[in-house]
Amino acid sequence: MSTEGGTRAIIAALFANLGIAITKFIAYLISGSSSMLAESVHSLADAGNQVLLLIGGRRARREATPEHPFGYGRERYVYAFVVSIVLFSVGGMFSIYEGVHKIQHPEPITNIAVPIVVLLVAIVMESFSLRTAVVESNRVRGRQSWVQFVRRAKAPELPVVLLEDIAALFGLVLALIAVSTAGITGNALWDGIGTITIGVLLVVIAFILGVETKSLLVGEGANPVDVRSIQMAIEAGDDINRVIHMKTLYVGPDELLVAAKVATTPGATGAEVSRWIDAAEARIRAAVTVDCLIYLEPAVFESGKSPSDGGRPPRPVTDG
């Protein structure tokens, strides 16, 4: 994905959530609705999450050091994982606690019109934020479905903002239903039920974010299409006979490590092998859109045997 697109989506969501959080909290103070309080905390947590994503993006741009020779790209994954924790604890668990408290100690909602108007305005503002995230995601999503995009994206910012905005819109609709029902029936129990439902929604979204970012933190390789493209690029020239085995790993959202042992023509000079490796690296960079760190090890392959595996048949090309 483009870093600029992710940043635009984050900033749009940040300003939307700050404005929404303030108006929701004012509505809570006027009406006493626990759903409004839960939504206030939800929006405040989302705004904090956007700040974390911006910090992570900034720190990830630091230059590589001897201690971190592949750079700091994975800091974006770390901060995205922290976002899932914040959404779970501050957003989800607080809302569930507040909803249970409201059911145990119900209090009537006053000035019902105020929270309803605020929720309707918040839905409009949140829709604008979601639209920005959708537009930026469509620039890089290609033909993937939305589920595939969230699961396969190596840059975490847009999937995080998308899921947060979707959760926020659903939460606003749930809050609107809960507050309206409580106002119409005069039973504050509905307000508490709505608050718990919002909390459960946030916990589910936080769990999905946590699972996906954990996978990125552990380390993911290139997708099967890119793996095949890299293999074909290496073997496209007459200078390299085949790929014996290969591993790929994303060292950051925008940088892919490619390490492979390749079979070259027996009897070639060192200068010839060096030119072949350089040409293969150029073909790899032309075959995939992501920046690559490439390490190719030349070897001689004869009669189905690899020179370093004790005469066993070579392993098929695999990823990770």
For residues 79 and 19, membership in a common domain is answered with yes
Res 250: pLDDT: 92
Are 99 and 38 spatial neighbours (Cβ–Cβ below 8 Å)?
yes
Beta bridge partners of 252: 255
Res 230: pLDDT: 94
What is the token pair recorded at 61? 């741009």
- Residue numbers in the chain where pLDDT is lower than 50: 1-2, 306-316, 320
For residues 111 and 152, membership in a common domain is answered with yes
Res 3: pLDDT: 60
The answer to whether residue 18 is domain-embedded is yes
The answer to whether residue 307 is domain-embedded is no
Q: Residue length, the chain?
A: 320
Q: Residue 65, Cβ neighbours under 10 Å: how many? A: 9
Are 228 and 258 spatial neighbours (Cβ–Cβ below 8 Å)?
no
The answer to whether residue 317 is domain-embedded is no
For residues 129 and 273, membership in a common domain is answered with no
For the domain that residue 196 is a member of, what is the CATH number? 1.20.1510.10
Res 241: pLDDT: 83
In terms of phi and psi (left: phi > 0; alpha: psi -120 to 50; beta: otherwise), the region of 303 is left
Alpha helices (H) along the chain:
3-31, 34-60, 75-86, 94-104, 113-141, 146-152, 157-185, 189-218, 224-235, 270-287
The pairing of beta strand 240-252 with beta strand 255-264: antiparallel
Rounded CA separation 177/173 (Å) = 6
For residues 213 and 263, membership in a common domain is answered with no
The answer to whether residue 88 is domain-embedded is yes
Rounded CA separation 3/301 (Å) = 42
The answer to whether residue 318 is domain-embedded is no
The answer to whether residue 194 is domain-embedded is yes
What is the token pair recorded at 153? 């994206």
For residues 113 and 165, membership in a common domain is answered with yes
pLDDT digits (tens, 9 = 90+) for 14-70: 888 888 888 888 888 888 888 788 888 878 888 888 898 889 888 888 888 888 888
For residues 55 and 136, membership in a common domain is answered with yes
Res 310: pLDDT: 38
Average of per-residue pLDDT values in the chain: 84
Res 285: pLDDT: 93
For residues 180 and 154, membership in a common domain is answered with yes
The answer to whether residue 315 is domain-embedded is no
Rounded CA separation 133/53 (Å) = 14
For residues 180 and 36, membership in a common domain is answered with yes
Q: Give the end of a domain, one of 172, 187, 218.
A: 218
Report the number of distinct structural domains present in the chain: 2
Domain encompassing residue 25? 3-218
For residues 45 and 175, membership in a common domain is answered with yes
Contacts 24+ apart (CB under 8 A), 219-223: 219/249, 219/250, 219/320, 220/154, 220/249, 220/250, 220/320, 221/247, 221/248, 221/249, 221/250, 221/319, 221/320, 222/248, 222/250, 222/256, 222/258, 222/288, 222/290, 222/319, 223/152
For residues 99 and 240, membership in a common domain is answered with no
Residue 218 to residues 102, 250, 291, 320: CA-CA distances in angstroms? 40, 10, 20, 11
Q: Which residue has the tokens 């501050």?
A: 90
The answer to whether residue 320 is domain-embedded is no
For residues 55 and 156, membership in a common domain is answered with yes
For residues 256 and 191, membership in a common domain is answered with no
For the domain that residue 296 is a member of, what is the CATH number? 3.30.70.1350
